């Protein structure tokens, strides 16, 4: 997980509030600080919600995680039921009984109303963390991409709504970028994920390259594992490139933001390659200079 480590959250709604505070206290991503205020505030609300969901799924007491995630989903439904014009609205968001209890959910009210963000992407982010509680291995790459439809793609869909530029075609391109970025993150975090009991490298690919899970516990990657990481990196890069024409369809802040995501993914892949695909000895991280250079290139080419 990114950000600062804090004490374990408490059970129940109070525990959710603890982790919402944690998410809000973390350093806001630097790239988002450069956007106009109207976008920045909305994206901060989305970021806080997403980090709260992830923190529950990763850091709450294991026996309480599903219940806490269910509480958060109930709060999300309260938010949407209380929106003006909702058929289920029995109260507005002014402190009545229909108000969401969790501050991370309440914080979404502005972005949901101003940007007409549908509920499903937020539901999917919760569902991804629920899946993490019961699924810790994926047999094929397609299975992993199915997980990405819940864990990563909703973020891009929400971002398009925030910038007011969502269309079905753009959402499809965004999904490709986000799935690629999720795979890249999994490659960077192989060792950390394994220590947490999770393996996001497809099991079929492990076998195909002559690897076992024991290889993931070593202090450095074996030649077989390096070849596997290289193969998965190619797949991730292809996904990002398939979606990168989205940059050319956008303008202004939206273009800059999506170009930043594309450049960040490519910079991370370059860092993995520079480490000779040894993701166990240290987590490969791109330099800021390399990332900025790639960003300028993506902006210039529009992909």
The secondary structure of 158-205 as a DSSP string is HHHHHTT---HHHHHHHHHHHHHHHHHHHHHTHHHHHHTT---S-HHH
pLDDT one-digit tens code per residue, 31-76: 566 788 889 999 999 999 999 999 999 999 999 999 999 999 999 9
pLDDT one-digit tens code per residue, 112-164: 999 999 999 999 999 999 999 999 999 999 999 999 999 999 999 999 999 99
Query: Would residue 138 be called left, alpha or beta, if left means φ above 0 and alpha means ψ between -120 and 50 degrees?
Result: beta
Domain ranges across the chain:
8-116, 135-303
Measured distance CA(169)–CA(173) in Å, rounded: 7
The C-alpha angle with vertex 126 and arms to 37 and 154, in degrees rounded to 5, equals: 55
Q: In this structure, what token pair is assigned to residue 50?
A: 């997403």
Distance of CA 32 to the CA centre of its chain: 15
pLDDT band at 19 (very low <50, low <70, confident <90, very high): very low
pLDDT for residue 297: 96
pLDDT band at 173 (very low <50, low <70, confident <90, very high): very high
In this model, does residue 89 exceed pLDDT 90? no
Q: What is the mean pLDDT of the chain?
A: 88
pLDDT band at 84 (very low <50, low <70, confident <90, very high): confident
The predicted model gives 286-300 an average pLDDT of 93
In this model, does residue 215 exceed pLDDT 70? yes
Domain 135-303 of CATH type 1.10.760.10? no
pLDDT one-digit tens code per residue, 275-285: 999 999 999 99
pLDDT one-digit tens code per residue, 189-212: 999 999 999 999 999 999 999 999
Q: Which of 155, 162, 65, 46 is nearest to 104 (CA)?
A: 46
User: What is the share, in percent, of the chain residues with pLDDT greater than 70?
Assistant: 84
Residue with tokens 């909305």: 42
User: What is the share, in percent, of the chain residues with pLDDT greater than 90?
Assistant: 81
Cα-based distances in Å from 55 to 10, 96, 227: 12, 28, 32
């Amino acid at each position: 997980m990114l950000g600062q480590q804090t004490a374990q959250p408490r059970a129940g709604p109070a525990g959710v509030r603890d982790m919402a505070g944690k998410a809000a206290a973390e350093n806001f991503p630097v790239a988002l600080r450069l956007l106009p205020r109207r976008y920045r505030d909305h994206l901060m609300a989305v970021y806080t919600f997403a980090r709260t969901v992830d923190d529950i799924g990763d850091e709450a007491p294991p026996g309480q995680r599903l219940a806490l995630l269910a509480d958060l989903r109930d709060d999300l439904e309260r938010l949407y039921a209380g929106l003006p014009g909702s058929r289920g609205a029995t109260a507005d968001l002014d402190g009545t009984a229909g108000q969401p209890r969790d501050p991370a959910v309440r914080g979404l009210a502005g972005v949901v109303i101003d940007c007409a963000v549908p509920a499903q992407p937020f539901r999917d982010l919760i569902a991804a963390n629920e899946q993490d509680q019961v699924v810790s291995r994926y047999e094929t790459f397609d299975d992993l991409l199915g997980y990405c439809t819940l864990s990563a793609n909703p973020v891009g869909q929400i971002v398009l709504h925030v910038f007011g530029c969502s269309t079905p075609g753009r959402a499809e391109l965004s999904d490709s970028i986000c799935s690629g970025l999720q795979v890249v993150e999994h490659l960077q975090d192989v060792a950390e994920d394994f220590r947490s009991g999770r393996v996001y490298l497809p099991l079929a690919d492990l076998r195909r390259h002559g690897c076992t899970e024991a290889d993931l516990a070593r202090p450095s990657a074996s030649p077989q594992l390096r070849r596997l990481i290289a193969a998965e990196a190619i797949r991730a890069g292809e996904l990002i490139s398939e979606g990168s024409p989205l940059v050319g369809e956008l303008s202004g802040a939206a273009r800059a933001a999506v170009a930043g995501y594309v450049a960040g993914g490519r910079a991370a892949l370059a860092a993995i390659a520079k480490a000779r695909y040894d993701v166990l000895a240290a987590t490969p991280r791109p330099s800021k200079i390399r990332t900025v250079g790639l960003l300028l290139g993506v902006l210039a080419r529009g992909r």
